[in-house]
Structure 1
Amino acid sequence: MLSNRTHSMVRVACFNASLEAGRLAGKKSQLNGDELSMALATPEHPLLKNTAAIIQAVRPDILLINEFDFAADYHRRIADFQRHYLSVPQCNKPPIEYPFSFTAPVNTGLATGFNVAADKNSRLANTYGHGAFAGHYGMLLLSRFPVIDGQVRTFQKFLWRDMPGNLLQSVRLPDGSAFYSDDAQQRLRLSSKSHWDIPLDINGETLHVLASHPTPPVFDGTERRNRARNHDEIRFWLDYLDPGSPHYHYDDCGQAGGFDGKRFVLLGDLNSSPDEGDSDKHAITRLLAHSAINSELLPVSDGGLQHSPNNPYAKSHTAIWRMRADYVLPSKCGIRPYQAGLFWPSAGQVDCELFADEQAVSDHRLVWIDLELTRS
């Protein structure tokens, strides 16, 4: 049992590691989805080696990796990542073992079977989320603690139209006509990848990991479809956690309702900052101010400040394109956060050599927070 202040302390991290086909193959076209399996089959890929070294340096107990391509052979991919990279000392770092994991299908690259854009001549791919193949830019959770399998909830198939007050209807062309086809307005899914609620058993206590990777609010046109979707993907969690919400949510097993737990950590590459960037900042600002979330402990780094020395937000940047995009946000209930950080050493600091080759490291930085589980 837990006392008011216990030994049940965990380090939780989020890392958009860019372990996606285009980055691994060094190209963005003619991808087939096998690139990650091929890279993991040997212990020599520089991006995977540096990723493992960063993980070994920070040593999180629970780690969400964004951009780990999903495929039918995901069991082998996870096993190869552990065996060939995480279990092997990288850059003189001790190995790290994750006996438990979770992954699931995502919407990226998944064919819809209908025209997404109202203009049938549009070059927009007819997929539920942007990707070169089904499973592109997937997610993976690694954990030292068991997943409570029977209580996992995934929301890959939740329809955008079923969010009350959604921004789907706001996505319009300059002439005022709808950007999305009638089929898309009825059948397009909200998540560009997925939303997951994954409960973990930590020494007999439950911690829910709320994971997602909303679409970047860019790479669109004047209709700003990605900006609207990014906003609503973040808003999904706002309503999920709000006891006063109508809880319109339904998961992929048909279970309806919002969050039904005590402790949680919300994490992922949310592609939105309250201070910078092109997103609709209303959702991320409200999320950080949510009554259930403790956002007071801000992860910072010296590397971010060195990268953007004249930027007032530089120390909290999590991506080299100068923005806070990645988050690890604990609940106020049942958790005491006591330190947090970004793994981004500046020149001359320990491990700065891991970032010397920009092609062999992600354009995001690993974010972590140390938590103590408490009774209230």
Structure 2
Amino acid sequence: MVRIATFNVSMEEENYPIEQELEKGSSVLQYHLSTGRNQQMRNIAEILQRTRPDIVLLNEFDFIEDRSKGVDAFQQNYLSIAQHESVSPINYPHIFLAPTNTGAPSPYDFDQDGVASGVGGDAWGFGKYPGQYGMVLLSRFPINKEEARTLQLFKWSDMPGALQPKHPETNQPWFSQEQWQALRLSSKSHWDVPVMVGEKRIHVLAQHPTPPVFDGPENRNGLRNHDELRLTADYLSEETSTYIYDDKGNRGGLSGDRFVILGDLNASIYSDATYPGAMERLLNHPKVNSDFIPTSRAGAAVVPELPYAKEFTAAWKSRADYVLPSKSGFNVIDGAVFWPEKNSPLYRLVESREASSDHRLVWLELEMVD
């Protein structure tokens, strides 16, 4: 058995107060990671200690290249310390970390406000500083880093039939030809990370597409979200992945049949903000097992009249976070959304965004089969 989870932890710089003057070269996030005292981080660690995933993707964990000040500090000062008398520490000896497009400065005025600022809407992916809203993969099992693939640099225009945004008034392209030829598709990055469970390999397909909102009538974020999801769907099959290349220049898609798609996908079949067909392409893919939907009773209580509210993974009333295994190589045994009800003593872990996150951890228990 292997338990695999995804969790948008909202661990980005702007979430945290400054408690004292920082050392030169440090950040507010790094300070709180170093102390072991931040209650939000303690709660996030406790959620992980209670659910105990073997493999977990943390979305919105700012990219800090110096691991000793970032993910290693989170392990040492939070995960390795029991956060409640009823839980045990949890250790992830294997970590995959790589840069993202968020906040990485571009020379272009992508948002067309008249200023090429290099940040925010003018970065390769929206972010106010490099690495904001990054991601990190934690694993109890070995990671084959040599064969891991990242698609951070793949150009949106290199996708055949890409949904190029247009000015609604003129029907002309939103981006100039130079911008369109340069713009990267992934708002963060797309990863294919092989994790070895004994002799069996799991391809962890990690991502965090842009929210399909925060733009204008041109819907550039909605179209980008659609095509980021399409990139994952196309990656799964030989016949649809011929156009794809990774950051090392290697072409083609998945080199195996056992995979799990992980991440805050910012898309739902029930959301009007999601471009039509974006999630259906993944959920209905012939290689994806989407039959088991993780749920929670607390989510169901958010909007009791909606039968699908039990599927919510975010406080803002949506199923946004997914663990989607391949049909081949797994039997789905169990799964859930970690969302304690209001009458539970564990509700303190999710009662607000400040308590932990506005997202909930989602997990599946998978039996590996030949």
Query: Could you say which TM-score interval applies, normalised by the shorter chain?
Result: over 0.9
Contact 2:166-2:218 within 8 A present in 1 as well: yes
1:221-240, aligned counterparts within 5 Å?
221-240=216-235
Task: State the match for 2:73 in structure 1.
Answer: 80
Q: Distance in 2 between matches of 1:288 and 1:230?
A: 15
Count of residues in Structure 1 that have an aligned counterpart in Structure 2:
361
Contact 2:288–2:327 (CA<8 Å) still a contact in 1? Answer: yes
1:278 matched to which residue of 2? 273
| Distance (Å, rounded) in 2 between the aligned partners of 1:341 and 1:299 | 4
- Counterpart secondary structure, 1:235: helix
- Opposite residue 7 of structure 2, the aligned amino acid is F
**8 Å contact kept, 1:33–1:133:** no
**Matching residue of 1:162:** 158
1:175 CA drift (Å): 2.5
Aligned in 2, Cα 1:121/1:324: closer, same or farther, shift over 3 Å? same
CA contact (8 A) 1:197 1:209 kept: yes
Give the alignment's TM-score, normalised by structure 2.
0.94
The structure with higher relative contact order (CA 8 Å, sep 6+) is 1
Which residue of structure 2 lines up, in the alignment, with residue 11 of structure 1? 3
Deviation of 1:66 (Å): 0.1
Q: Per-residue displacement from partner, 1:331-375 (whole Å, max 9, x unpaired)?
A: 011111111100001122352222234422200000000001111
Q: CA deviation at 1:246?
A: 4.8
* Cα distance change on mapping 1:75 and 1:257 into 2, 3 Å: farther
Decide whether aligned partners of structure 1 residues 356 and 120 sit closer, same or farther in structure 2, where only a CA change above 3 A counts: closer
For 1:24, the equivalent position in structure 2 comes to: 16
SS of alignment partner, residue 35 of structure 2: coil
- 2:32 corresponds to which letter in structure 1? A
Quick check: 1:264 aligned with 2:256?
Answer: no
What amino acid does structure 1 have at the position aligned with 2:5?
A: A
Alignment TM-score, normalising by the size of structure 1? 0.92
Q: What RMSD, in angstroms, separates the aligned Cα atoms of the two structures?
A: 1.7
Q: CA shift at 1:180, angstroms?
A: 1.4
The answer to whether the aligner puts 1:135 opposite 2:128 as a matched pair is: no
Q: Distance in 1 between matches of 2:26 and 2:229?
A: 27
Amino acid at match of 2:50: A
252 and 246 in structure 1: CA distance in 2 versus 1, 3 angstrom threshold: closer
Partner of 1:3: none
Which of 185, 203, 207 is the aligned partner of 1:208?
203
**Counterpart of 1:250?**
245
Equivalent positions of 1:1-376 (< 5 A) are 9-25=1-17, 34-92=27-85, 93-117=87-111, 120-121=114-115, 125-168=121-164, 170-375=165-370
Q: Secondary structure at the match of 1:48?
A: helix
Unaligned 5+ runs, structure 1: 1-8, 27-31
- What SS class does the counterpart of residue 337 from structure 1 fall into? strand
Contact 1:273 1:281 in 2 (8 A): no
Match of 2:21 in 1: none
Partner of 1:29: none
Distance 1:189 1:114 in 2: 12
Distance in 1 (CA, whole Å) between partners of 2:199 and 2:361 is: 28
Moved over 4 A (4+): 121-124
CA shift at 1:72, angstroms?
2.5
Distance 2:290 2:350 in 1: 28
Letter in 2 for 1:10: V
Q: Give distance in 2, aligned partners of 1:313 and 1:126.
A: 36
Give secondary structure in 2 for the equivalent of 1:312.
Answer: coil
Distance (whole Å) between structure 2 residues aligned to residue 59 and residue 225 of structure 1: 38
Q: Give SS of 1:360's match.
A: coil
- Aligned amino acid, residue 53 of structure 1: E
Consecutive unaligned residues of structure 2, counting only runs of 5 or more, are 19-24
Q: For the residues of structure 2 that align with 1:272 and 1:106, how far apart are their CA atoms?
A: 20
**Distance in structure 1 (CA, Å) of the matches to 2:83 and 2:185:** 39
- Letter aligned with residue 20 of structure 1: E
SS of 2:5's equivalent in the other structure is strand
User: CA–CA distance in 2 between the matches of 1:357 and 1:131?
Assistant: 23
